[in-house]
Amino acid sequence: MSISKAEKSYIQTGLLSAPPRRQDGRSLLDFRSIALETGVVPLANGSARLLIADGTEILAATKLQVQDGPLPQLTCTVTCSPAAYPHLSPAALDDVQADLTALLNGTLSRHRPDNLTILPGKKAWALHLDIIVLADAGNVCDALFMAARAALWDTRVPRTRGVEYKARKDSGFDMQTAPPDFELADYWDDGEVLGGRDTWPVSITLNIESSVHYLDAILQEEASTPLRLLLMYSFPGPILQGMRTIGSGDLSLPQIKALLADGEKYALELMQALNAKLSEEDVRRNQKARDRFEQRY
Amino acid sequence: MDIDLDGDEDFDSGGSKLTCPGEPLTSAQDYMRGHGTYVENEEVIASVAGTIERVNKLVTVRAVRTRYNAEVGDLVVGRITEVQPRRWKVDANSRQDAVLMLSSVNLPGGVQRRKLESDELQMRTFFEEGDLLVAEVQAFFGDGSMSLHTRSLRYGKLRNGQLVVVPPILVCRLKSHFITLPCGVDLILGLNGYIWVSKHVKQSDREGEEGFDAEAVYSNQNDAIDDFTRIAISHVTNIIRALATRFIPLSDTILLKAYEWIVEQGSDVKDLLQEDIGDALVAGITAIG
Mutating which of B65, B186, B194, B220 best tests the A interface, going by the most A Cβ atoms within 10 A? B220
CB contact under 8 A, B129 and A2: yes
Q: Lowest mean pLDDT of A68-82, A96-110, B1-15, name the range.
A: B1-15
Instruction: Mark which residues 122-161 of B lie under 8 Å from A by CB.
Output: 129-132, 157-161
- A22-36 residue pLDDT tens: 988 899 999 999 999
Q: How far is residue A187's CA from residue A183's CA, in Å, rounded to a whole number?
A: 9
Find out whether B76 and B98 touch, Cβ atoms under 8 Å.
yes
Mind telling me how many Å the CA of B156 is from chain A's nearest CA?
13
Q: Does A24 touch chain B (CB under 8 A)?
A: yes
Spell out which residues of chain B touch residue A22, defining contact as CB-CB under 8 Å.
Answer: 234
Nearest to A14 among B157, B159, B230 (CB): B230
Contact between A33 and B220 using a beta-carbon 8 Å cutoff:
no
CATH of B9-63, one of 3.40.190.10, 2.40.50.100, 1.10.10.10, 3.20.20.70: 2.40.50.100
Contact: B130, A22; criterion CB under 8 Å: no
Residue B57 distance to chain A (closest CA, Å): 37
Instruction: Collect all residues of chain A within an 8 Å Cβ-Cβ radius of residue B162.
Output: 7, 10-11, 23, 220
Residue A190 has pLDDT above 60, yes or no: yes
Query: Cβ distance A212 to A15 under 8 Å?
Result: yes
* Chain B, nearest residue to A1 by Cα: B130
Residue B186 touches chain A, beta carbons under 8 Å: no
pLDDT 10s digit of each residue in chain B, 289 long? 445 554 444 444 456 788 999 999 988 899 999 989 999 999 999 999 988 988 899 999 988 888 898 999 999 999 999 999 999 999 999 989 999 999 888 877 665 666 778 888 888 989 999 999 999 999 999 998 999 999 888 888 999 999 999 999 899 899 999 999 998 899 999 999 999 999 998 766 555 545 566 677 888 888 888 899 999 999 999 999 999 999 899 999 999 999 998 888 887 888 888 888 888 888 888 875 5
B265 Cβ under 8 Å from any chain A Cβ:
no
Residue A169 has what pLDDT? 63
Q: How far is CA B116 from the centre of its chain?
A: 32
CB-CB neighbors (< 8 A) of B230 in chain A: 14, 17, 21
Dihedral pair phi/psi, residue B280, rounded to 5°:
-65, -40
Q: How close does chain A come to B125, measured CA to CA in Å? A: 12
Residue B84: phi and psi, rounded to 5, are: -125, 170
Closest-CA distance, B110 to chain A, in angstroms, reads: 25
Task: Flag if B231 and A4 touch (Cβ within 8 Å).
Answer: no
Region A92-98: what's the mean pLDDT? Answer: 95
Neighbours of B176 (CB within 10 A): 11
pLDDT at position B129: 92
Smallest Cβ–Cβ distance between B132 and the set A4, A21, A22 belongs to: A4
The count of other CB atoms within 10 Å of the CB of residue B137 is 21
B251 closest CA partner among B184, B171, B194, B196? B171
Of A49-63, A196-210, A278-292, least confident by mean pLDDT is A278-292
Mean pLDDT of A123-142: 93
Q: Do B237 and A53 touch (CB under 8 A)?
A: no
**CA distances (Å), origin A25, targets A243, B244, B267:** 29, 18, 12
The domain A5-164+177-296 having CATH identifier 3.30.230.70: the answer here is yes
Nearest alpha-carbon partner for B216 in B224, B205, B225: B205
Coil vs helix vs strand at A90: helix
What whole-number percentage of chain A has pLDDT above 70?
Answer: 95
Q: What's the rounded mean pLDDT across residues A255-264?
A: 93
**pLDDT for residue B8:** 45
| Contact yes or no for B185/B200 (Cβ under 8 A) | yes
Tell me, yes or no, if B276 comes closer than 8 A to chain A by beta carbon. Answer: no
Residue type, A256: I
Give the C-alpha separation, B53 to A56, whole Å: 35
Give the number of C-alpha atoms closer than 13 A to the C-alpha of residue A187, restricted to the C-beta side.
0
- Beta pairing partners, A55: none
Instruction: Quickly list H helices, A79-165.
Output: 90-108, 140-154
**Nearest residue of B to residue A16, measured between CA atoms:** B227
pLDDT at residue A93 is higher than 90? yes
Does the predicted model carry a pTM greater than 0.90? no
B144: DSSP letter: S
Nearest CB to A4 within list B131, B235, B272: B131
Which residues in chain A are contacts of B163 at CB distance < 8 A? Answer: 7, 220
Please report residues of B whose CB lies closer than 8 A to that of A220.
162-163
For residue B270, give the nearest of A9, A10, A25 by CB distance. A25
Report which of A222, A234, A229 is spatially closest to residue A257, judged by C-alpha positions: A229
The residue ranges of DSSP E strands in B72-124, in sequence order, are: 75-84, 87-91, 98-101
Cβ B222–A10 below 8 Å, yes or no?
yes
Share of chain A residues as helix, strand and coil, in percent rounded to the nearest 5: 35, 30, 35
pLDDT band at A179 (very low <50, low <70, confident <90, very high): confident
- Among B140, B273, B123, which residue's Cα sits nearest to residue A25? B273
Question: Average pLDDT, whole number, for chain A?
Answer: 88
Integer Rg of chain B from CA: 22
